Amino acid sequence: MTKLKIVLGSMVLAYAFSVAALYGLMIQPPETFGAAMARVPMAAMMVLPFEPLWMRARKGGLQPGDAAPDFSLPTLDRTGTFRLSEEARQRPVVLIFGSYT
């Protein structure tokens, strides 16, 4: 009975450590997260609570009505830079986010 408790306790600790490590990865920048997740076996995603952790780690702190964070991106033709704060001073800006994969 004691050996069974030790084995079960070890399994629970290993699971908790794995969940904490995954959450720690999720709060890293996308490049770090992607590089680490490329090495995680797919079977781990079936056992670990990926979606709830992801939703918590990436929820952000903006509320409706808050100003969008400033950012800059190269233009499509790579001849200039788009900066949100500069464009918003000149005219209204609409941000549309989507996935094109």
pLDDT tens by residue, 66-100: 888 899 999 989 999 999 999 999 998 888 877 77
Tokens of 93: 């800006």
What is the tens place of the pLDDT at every residue in 37-60? Answer: 999 888 888 899 999 999 999 888
Whole-number percent of the chain with pLDDT over 90: 58
pLDDT band at 17; cut points 50, 70, 90:
very high
Position 30 pLDDT exceeds 80: yes
What pLDDT was estimated at residue 45?
Answer: 84
Contact 74, 81 (CB under 8 A): yes
Among 31, 43, 6, smallest CA distance to 18 is for 43
